Structure 1
Amino acid sequence: MLTLHGLFAFELVCYLTVTLLLVRLFFDHLHRRTQETSFNGPPSPSWLFGVSKLLAQSSDSASLYERWSEKYGLVYTISATLGKSCLVLCDPKAVQHFYSGDTYGYVQTSATRALVKSMFGHCVLWAEGATHKRHRKALVPAFSPAAIKAMLPIFYDSAHKVKSAWDSILAAEAPDSNSTIIDVQEWMNRASFDTFGIAGFGHDFGTLRGEPSTIFRIVDAFITMRPGLAGSLQIVLGLVFPWTLKLPTAFRRLGDQLDANLGEIAREVLASSRTDEGTEGNTGDRSIMGVLLRAEKSDSQMNMSTNEILAQMKVMMIAGYITTANCLMWCLVELAQKPELQNKLRQEVSQIPCEDATWDQLVDGLPYLDAVIHETLRLHPPMGETTRVATADDIIPLSYSTKTATGAVTDRISVSKGQLITVPIHTMNTSCRFWGSNAKEFHPERFLGDKSGIMKDLPGHKHILTFVYGPRMCYGRNFAITEMKAMLAVLVCSFAFEMVDGPNAEVGVIGGLLSVPVIADGDGKTIPLRVRRLE
């Protein structure tokens, strides 16, 4: 039992603790006010949610960011959860500086890390600083040019499986017209899913053969599911209260189901790879799994634990599958809407002899195919924005002088520790300021010729931010690009693609994690295209 003296001492300690906390918060606020450069921005519709709810529920958040940029400049402030402010960067030099400091000077929010950890574990997407560097060093060899070249036969095998399946569908449904409607999205999902399973882990899911796959069904539902009001609230509140991410909403339950099934498959593949390692004919050393197993046994700085390996497997299965399938689908939709560009691509690819294009031809010999892929990546990035928090006070340089909230003109920004910063990737990729008046149009020719446009001011792979930039630049980008080139080369040479309702048919967008194309008046889930066999 506490004595009066002890009770008084306890109360005094509590009082002093609260007082010190309030004093610290006051001085932190004062420090930010004196250190940060303030900017104007759109009014906050809600102190609780700021503009977060508006962005989360919008199917075209890029347009929101762009309208704000046109009104307030290339640097402006938006309101985040619970009255927090978030600095938005649309200035090329500022964006380059921001991404260059990723994982050290600018890190993921606690909510983002909590969400990634709960879904995948201690993976490369979760890691920061030295841990991220170690993970990346262990993974990069699996995506070297030599490694991807060795995987090329797997990419072509999946492409020809799709071709054979479609030939069978056409023979059964349209023996005379050689034309029928096919849910192309479903087939791109299957092809990408099976390809990554084999190339990455030596595991054939068999979805191209029609074999059922629980994990395929869950992933498909997960990427097309809209979080809904409860899910949106959970994500928004998670920016401040990470524990809310564990509440059992429908979105969270689907995520848990995804995690459980991915974990089970990952353990099976890992156990099988360990058993088969070193056996005659084993190709694990060239696979992603082979690289992970070597990292597990390594005594160097690349050493990874079993749990880390499982986490990498899960996140790469998702990232490697859904982003590639989604880009392929958008690519076919864009080509179906512009038959003249589809014909131009077909003419280039058809110049190659009957055999599949070689590695050297895919890399350097098919410039229009390369342009079509990158124009699709520019217009339809899988991730629409990047948000980080500053770990220390910093000065960010600007390409263009801009006005602050006080009306002063500056060519640099002062940010303080704890400042939220966002780069709207989709907006930067499609900005008329950087890409010209046709920035919103599908125009592959912009990646051909001397490419002398102002877009060279932008950082990133081929000056697009789809794969971001800096330490977190996507290490699997060449894997995805090569897979897409192989698939597209085979299909465009074999089939013509048309929108069911004509080239001017309206295409909508759904999805919580990705911008998935759908026919505006369709079932809201699929993209059926008319597929015609070429003679």
Structure 2
Amino acid sequence: MTAVQPTEDFYEWVFTMTTRFHGKPWLLHRPGRPDVLVVSSPIAFEDIQRTFAGQFDKIDNEAEGLARDAHGGVIALVCSGTLRPSVNTQRQLAMSVLGSQALRQQASVLTKQHIKSLVTILEDTADAGRLKPGSGNNTLDLTKLMKSFSMEIFTELGFDLRLGALRGEASEFEKAIDDLQKRVAERLKRSTLTWKIERLLDVGNEAALNHSINVVKAVAMEAVEAKRKRRRGDSCDGPIAGSRVDMLDLLQGQKCNSKILKDPEFLAEFVLSFVVAARDSMAHTLSKCLQSLAQHPEEQNKLVGELKEAEKEGKDLQSIVRLEAVVKETLRLYP
């Protein structure tokens, strides 16, 4: 419960308790912390997200002073103004952006582009392991690598920023986001009074957290301002001709008179929420997918066989049924 990602034992315990209550919602009491409502049915999720959405607070007290991304993870609160759009407005904006065919095509292009660097890193590590077996220098932090890979894709897709993390050290932007998530998770181990005093005095973990927030805010705002200046120079209402489509382009190209879309702080926070949520989801899924395949070599061999056969026949990899099944089973086992 205190880690960034809950352990498998914790998931098992939650499942056991939910079974004991026959799938009905139940309340988890934590001494000195806010209670947690545990739900497991699609109907309950629908009630919380839509039917009775107004009765459920979207901001946890643990993340006071911070915003939440689409998956509940904490990100920097960039927007400090009074312009706060309604949940329905944000939902409509999200649908218009994520439903864009141009953005999906761009995501596919970026994935194919960066996957070459990812494969090169994996092959180099494998070759080094064969040449010098048992060497400690041949170990690879797969989760960290997948986070860098995902970050490359989604920062470019969201802000048109090229971090270059796969070709060298992680950028300050990525380090700041990781540090931010880590330090907010550490709040769960401490009393509310302790971290609030630290925040008031700007010392300890709260001082470091504030520094990370400022780094993330500065990078996001700089990207938004650069995009706005470029758009003003091109005097266009849609995506800039000859440039790659990104989320900022789509938001600023909306045919809407809303003041929200002219607020750079809101744009930075809105896009940042998707970047962080997408990075964490993709990195988690890829890491668990490779882990599951490593634990089941028989499935790994079957998948490799189908991939080679599809390559010979010139088929699209997305048409391979087993590949889709592996990904979906991973998502089922490790949601």
Amino acid of the residue matched to residue 334 of structure 1? S
What is the match of residue 65 of structure 1? 14
Q: Does 1:282 align with 2:243?
A: yes
Give the drift of 1:377.
1.9
1:10-409 to structure 2, matched below 5 A, reads: 55-56=1-2, 59=7, 60-75=9-24, 76-80=26-30, 87-101=37-51, 103-109=53-59, 111=61, 114-117=64-67, 119-121=75-77, 131-144=86-99, 146=101, 147-170=103-126, 174=130, 181-223=139-181, 227-228=185-186, 231-234=188-191, 237=192, 246=199, 250-277=204-231, 278=234, 280-283=241-244, 286-295=245-254, 298-300=256-258, 303-353=261-311, 358=316, 362=318, 365-381=319-335
SS in 2 for 1:351: helix
* Alpha-carbon distance in structure 2 between the residues aligned to 1:250 and 1:356: 57
Amino acid of the residue matched to residue 138 of structure 1? L
Cα 1:113/1:174, change in 2 over 3 Å:
closer
* Alpha-carbon distance in structure 1 between the residues aligned to 2:126 and 2:271: 37
Give the drift of 1:207.
0.9
Give the drift of 1:311.
1.1
What is the match of residue 70 of structure 2? none
Contact in 1 for aligned 2:107/2:153 (Cα 8 Å):
no
* Alpha-carbon distance in structure 2 between the residues aligned to 1:159 and 1:56: 33
Q: Number of matched residues? A: 310
CA offsets 1:209-246 (integer angstroms, 9 cap, x no match): 11551122233444556945x65234xx48xx996794
Which one has more relative contact order, counting CA pairs under 8 Å at least 6 apart? 1
**Higher mean C-alpha displacement, 366-375 vs 197-206:** 366-375
Contact in 2 for aligned 1:191/1:208 (Cα 8 Å):
yes
Contact in 2 for aligned 1:205/1:213 (Cα 8 Å):
yes
Normalized per residue, the structure richer in helix is: 2
Amino acid of the residue matched to residue 160 of structure 1? K
* Alpha-carbon distance in structure 1 between the residues aligned to 2:183 and 2:195: 21
Cα 1:98/1:167, change in 2 over 3 Å:
closer
1:465-484 to structure 2, matched below 5 A, reads: none
* Alpha-carbon distance in structure 1 between the residues aligned to 2:141 and 2:37: 41
How big is the alpha-carbon RMSD for the aligned residues of Structure 1 and Structure 2?
A: 3.8
Contact in 2 for aligned 1:215/1:262 (Cα 8 Å):
yes
Give the drift of 1:61.
2.9
Any stretches of 5+ residues in structure 1 without a counterpart? 1-54, 382-535
* Alpha-carbon distance in structure 2 between the residues aligned to 1:66 and 1:331: 22
Cα 1:356/1:84, change in 2 over 3 Å:
same
* Alpha-carbon distance in structure 2 between the residues aligned to 1:224 and 1:82: 21
The percent identity for this pair of structures is: 18
* Alpha-carbon distance in structure 2 between the residues aligned to 1:221 and 1:122: 16
Cα 1:273/1:355, change in 2 over 3 Å:
farther
Contact in 1 for aligned 2:173/2:215 (Cα 8 Å):
yes
Give the drift of 1:250.
5.0
Give the drift of 1:86.
5.6
Contact in 1 for aligned 2:221/2:264 (Cα 8 Å):
no
Amino acid of the residue matched to residue 46 of structure 2? Q
TM-score computed with the length of structure 2 as normaliser: 0.75
TM-score computed with the length of structure 1 as normaliser: 0.50
Cα 1:333/1:157, change in 2 over 3 Å:
same
**Higher mean C-alpha displacement, 168-177 vs 332-341:** 168-177
Give the drift of 1:312.
1.6
CA offsets 1:284-330 (integer angstroms, 9 cap, x no match): xx3112123224x8315874521111212332332222221122111
SS in 1 for 2:140: strand
Amino acid of the residue matched to residue 206 of structure 1? G
1:409-424 to structure 2, matched below 5 A, reads: none
Bigger Cα Rg: 1
Normalized per residue, the structure richer in strand is: 1
Give the drift of 1:376.
1.7
Cα 1:162/1:97, change in 2 over 3 Å:
same
Any stretches of 5+ residues in structure 2 without a counterpart? 68-73, 235-239
Contact in 1 for aligned 2:97/2:250 (Cα 8 Å):
yes
What is the match of residue 515 of structure 1? none
